[in-house]
Structure 1
């Protein structure tokens, strides 16, 4: 063989080998608009797992150094062997490294009069859990086999992340921003918390999607409000979008469901798992100064402290697409949290949709739905998600969460407000009617926190609540939107709780299915804040005040044969403070009304 022949043979062999290698390069696969599991990615034993520390732009522990966030990465080995670049699905949390123990006295004592403070609560210490390099395994099994890199980070002052928790402060928005900046080459990552050996995200395309549930769902929204480049889409699940709306309600001190006596300083202690040597200083600066001065358990008023922890106020820079998810029976992080952000995002012209289900706290959209959103915004696949005519996906009563019913929007565009008036009936039940009756007497209830709302709704006769019900429904009624209540009342004391439930009667335990119960929706308010949630003023005993507020958003079908009941009472055993029983609330029936958003409006009702 001549030298030329040998050269040609070698060149041909090289070209063929290169072609075979090119054919064997692993890439994501898409079908029906979704990223598919790729067997070459679905190799956990070969996944590359590493951790690092991303430098932020803040110093929230006051040590004179910029805080670094602890980050972990899980990626297919092809990002190393084949130079493959992939988009990132990112979840951040304050919970990864453990939380404070549930000890006696950790919550605020609620047995005292409104306007007073209970005894000082116990401040438990967190024992940090977890070892490097793995922060969390969440999201990995779902998304890495489908051609994504999964990233986690511990939020400030938790785990190995430096800084201090602030529970909604600016650093909790800027921390995930820094991680996204690092994924785009704009921030520095280091192998150690105080070292100077850098780590580059050479395997990242720079496109990031965030998701998570509860506090982990709040952080994607927090990051999005910074307007950081590269954060293309967020899927928050049951996010806390305002700490005021979580711990207060229309001026009233009100606990989240299941956590009576919790407040923002309780949550601070619960998550403060960071560097033990920094905790005392963090506690003094954040919990014992900023929170103690700002949280105001005496009045429950909205102020600058709470406004700074309300993400609705920070949305102007936001540009990420958003799929919001929430449960209508979530009485921990209540459904208003997602609705208020969804509505604002729509008004801003952002690409957004909302998924609601009939269960409680948590519950992400179906994986298929999430897949399409991530596939479109992170891989750039044209799967039509942005042209979907329906923007609301609601799991109907009794349906599987994987099979929501699609609607044009939420609230249902066909819903119209129907006003219902009260007719007398205490201590039994009065009526709810479309026609406003002629002049009526007032009716009075006596506060007693020892009776919970369910007991009051089921009681035939009781002086501790007022109950007004419709006639039996002759056909199904579809409520969709935000009911509004106006209660005109007088109190026998300068301060009183006001609680309102909307219920479906009769109260029949056997009627329940997994996704619904007799509670349609609820709401709470402080009559002292009848003019503004930012300013309270003691009530003049015997003087009538008009209190108007929204109940929690809902989308529920009340079946024919049921009755819709309006339950008005004072202290709610599960949610409010527990003042000494005996306060009297007198309601002016003529000046009290309920407005229900009903699909089909008055004609249907």
Structure 2
């Protein structure tokens, strides 16, 4: 162990009075790092790290700007400190956090304002905080490539510099070499949305020195942000996002890089080499860092499939993992569970970056928000008792309506016509009425709670009337309940005017933030999982085939990862439709689709017995529901 690390532990031991109860060595075990360093006198500087790439084609290796703040007293005493790092493209274009904070600088270009509370809270506790401008953004050179080698490489280069494997400079061009002898080299990456995505991507390189990541509402595969099992997600493109985040850069010429982005992704939903480059799930085997992930089950921006497949892929790596699942949309836990989040982060970083034995790795692995502000712990996700259960649609007395049962397959047909102007909210609104644009099957009233925990799939055998076709499926909880208003402007939170403070403040770097509370709504239905596919990709995700009208095709596609209890007395429904407006783009011609019910089923991850229907009870004719704001996008991450 380095002598500098021993000094950190000694400082903590002297200043941390509280200890963990109930252990034989409690008197010798520090509870956690304490705010012993003066934030006002902290060292603030920018180092430009050489990435070894020339993305903007100017003949010089790109340098990325790493703005950092670290305790001055630690440097003067020769105490090396670990690093909390947030690499982002948003520090000038869009801002970070609920208050859209941007980096600020003094007249000499010295960093003053660091967005978010990480520096205010952790620097006094013996950490450095490093905020990295991704290549091609803010004060960094190079070009954005939306999750590709430039983005990931620019953040990885800073981890390498912190561990003595890359060169840093005192200026964007020229300048003198700068080393990072003040750090232990232990790095924890954190960030929401695009930032957390970069943390996932850097971890997937297996870079030495990255000890932990905290991805918040993060992408694990960019294909699953812009596409879905062959279907093209509605709105946005990698090239458009690159232009948005590069708006505040230093004016470098990225026309060639932008052309590559525009041309590198198929216009259809085929999985290509460009998507594979941005698929961190496929590289999860390389991850060595521990992972503390958090995601909103109702996130309609970065869909929950992104946490589900990433978490599951990490299971085989053996790394320590922790997961929070909220009822919110695309929201940071600092805004829905603030005190608990800061405390959890503090313990997590203390353990994985300072090496303090505080027992955090032995706390419950998974926490799930069951009702607004009501959390339960689980030992695993999917839940330990979760298993795949097949439920089959069976035709009823009314065309397009029927039951969803765990019994045997029953012959039957159901037909609907794709209406690209309708969405899942329209499909679900009148469950007792037949519809020309969807079919609906329900379990009937549940005799006991039904816990779904994991990632489900739909297998559908469908005959289209045209050569192109989309197919969508949604799971609906019918019954009165109070949930977070994830479709509202705050995606499940309401931000007030009162503030609370998390750490020390200085002029230009405030530690105080507006307090958010749960924004709730009473509903009669909750669409809690959905999935979309292009029938042309029934054989291969990498290559679509033209459909022959009148011929049946079988396709299996994924539903959004979830952890949801459908309560006793409610009903679970499966709805199958065509184009889910706002979520996926429509086909060239709207087809008439005939579903072969005997060869169509949904496979659900159920913790407990299969659903058992109670006494017959009609659904409400038009139950109230959340109407999601489909303008949500990563650009406002």
**Normalising by structure 1, what TM-score?**
0.83
* 1:380 and 2:388 are equivalent in the alignment: no
Q: Which residue of 2 aligns with 1:532?
A: 540
Moved more, 516-525 or 320-329: 516-525
Indicate how the Cα distance of structure 1 residues 293 and 603 shifts in structure 2: closer, same or farther if over 3 A, else same: closer
Are the counterparts in 2 of residues 493 and 541 from structure 1 also a CA contact under 8 Å?
A: yes
- What is the distance in 2 between the residues matched to 1:78 and 1:512? 48
Moved more, 541-550 or 428-437: 428-437
- What is the distance in 2 between the residues matched to 1:293 and 1:203? 43
Secondary structure (helix, strand or coil) at the match of 2:173 reads coil
Q: Which residue of 2 aligns with 1:180?
A: 159
Secondary structure (helix, strand or coil) at the match of 2:445 reads coil
Pairwise CA distance, 1:211: 0.5
1:41-56 residue pairs with structure 2 within 5 A? 41=37, 43-56=38-51
Are the counterparts in 2 of residues 173 and 225 from structure 1 also a CA contact under 8 Å?
A: no
Deviations 1:297-333 (A, max 9, x none): 1x21001111011112333432111112111111111
Q: Which residue of 2 aligns with 1:300?
A: 269
Indicate how the Cα distance of structure 1 residues 271 and 375 shifts in structure 2: closer, same or farther if over 3 A, else same: same
* 1:486 and 2:459 are equivalent in the alignment: yes
2:343 to 358, 362, 368: 368
2:58 to 58, 63, 67: 63
Q: Provide the aligned length of Structure 1 versus Structure 2.
A: 537
1:333-348 residue pairs with structure 2 within 5 A? 333-348=302-317
Pairwise CA distance, 1:427: 4.4
Secondary structure (helix, strand or coil) at the match of 1:311 reads coil
Pairwise CA distance, 1:560: 1.5
Indicate how the Cα distance of structure 1 residues 203 and 594 shifts in structure 2: closer, same or farther if over 3 A, else same: same
1:435 to 391, 404, 407: 407
Q: Which residue of 2 aligns with 1:18?
A: none
Deviations 1:182-233 (A, max 9, x none): 2223322211111232223232121111101000101112222222221111
- What is the distance in 2 between the residues matched to 1:447 and 1:217? 36
- What is the distance in 1 between the residues matched to 2:593 and 2:110? 58
* 1:231 and 2:207 are equivalent in the alignment: no
Secondary structure (helix, strand or coil) at the match of 1:143 reads helix
Secondary structure (helix, strand or coil) at the match of 1:162 reads coil
* 1:420 and 2:391 are equivalent in the alignment: yes
1:31-46 residue pairs with structure 2 within 5 A? 31=18, 32=20, 35-38=32-35, 40-41=36-37, 43-46=38-41
- What is the distance in 1 between the residues matched to 2:137 and 2:188? 22
Secondary structure (helix, strand or coil) at the match of 2:212 reads strand
Q: Which residue of 2 aligns with 1:469?
A: 442
Q: Which residue of 1 aligns with 2:427?
A: 456
Q: Which residue of 1 aligns with 2:244?
A: 270
1:140-179 residue pairs with structure 2 within 5 A? 140-179=119-158
Indicate how the Cα distance of structure 1 residues 62 and 580 shifts in structure 2: closer, same or farther if over 3 A, else same: closer
- What is the distance in 2 between the residues matched to 1:604 and 1:473? 6
Deviations 1:362-393 (A, max 9, x none): 334822222222111111111233445x4322
Are the counterparts in 1 of residues 84 and 189 from structure 2 also a CA contact under 8 Å?
A: yes
2:529 to 521, 528, 536: 521
Deviations 1:33-84 (A, max 9, x none): 653442x42x432222111211122222222221111111112221344333
Secondary structure (helix, strand or coil) at the match of 2:239 reads helix
- What is the distance in 2 between the residues matched to 1:312 and 1:578? 28
Deviations 1:472-496 (A, max 9, x none): 1122111111112111101111111
Q: Which residue of 2 aligns with 1:571?
A: 579
Secondary structure (helix, strand or coil) at the match of 2:135 reads coil
Q: Which residue of 2 aligns with 1:136?
A: 114
Unmatched segments (≥5 aa) in structure 2:
1-6, 21-29, 96-101, 334-339, 486-491, 493-519, 614-637
Pairwise CA distance, 1:347: 0.4
Q: Which residue of 2 aligns with 1:115?
A: none
Deviations 1:105-133 (A, max 9, x none): xxxxxxxxxxxxxxxxxxxxxxx985433
Are the counterparts in 2 of residues 129 and 159 from structure 1 also a CA contact under 8 Å?
A: no
- What is the distance in 2 between the residues matched to 1:581 and 1:540? 13
Secondary structure (helix, strand or coil) at the match of 2:84 reads strand
- What is the distance in 1 between the residues matched to 2:251 and 2:372? 51
Are the counterparts in 1 of residues 88 and 194 from structure 2 also a CA contact under 8 Å?
A: yes
Indicate how the Cα distance of structure 1 residues 251 and 239 shifts in structure 2: closer, same or farther if over 3 A, else same: same
Are the counterparts in 2 of residues 473 and 561 from structure 1 also a CA contact under 8 Å?
A: yes
Unmatched segments (≥5 aa) in structure 1:
1-21, 101-127, 256-260
- What is the distance in 2 between the residues matched to 1:315 and 1:602? 32
Deviations 1:500-537 (A, max 9, x none): 1100115x5x7444568601200000111111111110
Are the counterparts in 2 of residues 376 and 382 from structure 1 also a CA contact under 8 Å?
A: yes
- What is the distance in 1 between the residues matched to 2:321 and 2:181? 30
Pairwise CA distance, 1:603: 7.8
Are the counterparts in 2 of residues 241 and 341 from structure 1 also a CA contact under 8 Å?
A: yes
1:318 to 267, 275, 287: 287
- What is the distance in 1 between the residues matched to 2:155 and 2:202? 6
- What is the distance in 1 between the residues matched to 2:276 and 2:146? 13
Indicate how the Cα distance of structure 1 residues 274 and 65 shifts in structure 2: closer, same or farther if over 3 A, else same: farther
Indicate how the Cα distance of structure 1 residues 603 and 186 shifts in structure 2: closer, same or farther if over 3 A, else same: same
- What is the distance in 2 between the residues matched to 1:152 and 1:178? 13
* 1:214 and 2:187 are equivalent in the alignment: no
Secondary structure (helix, strand or coil) at the match of 2:59 reads coil
Are the counterparts in 2 of residues 244 and 306 from structure 1 also a CA contact under 8 Å?
A: yes
Deviations 1:76-95 (A, max 9, x none): 22134433321111111001
Q: Which residue of 2 aligns with 1:591?
A: 599
Q: Which residue of 2 aligns with 1:73?
A: 68
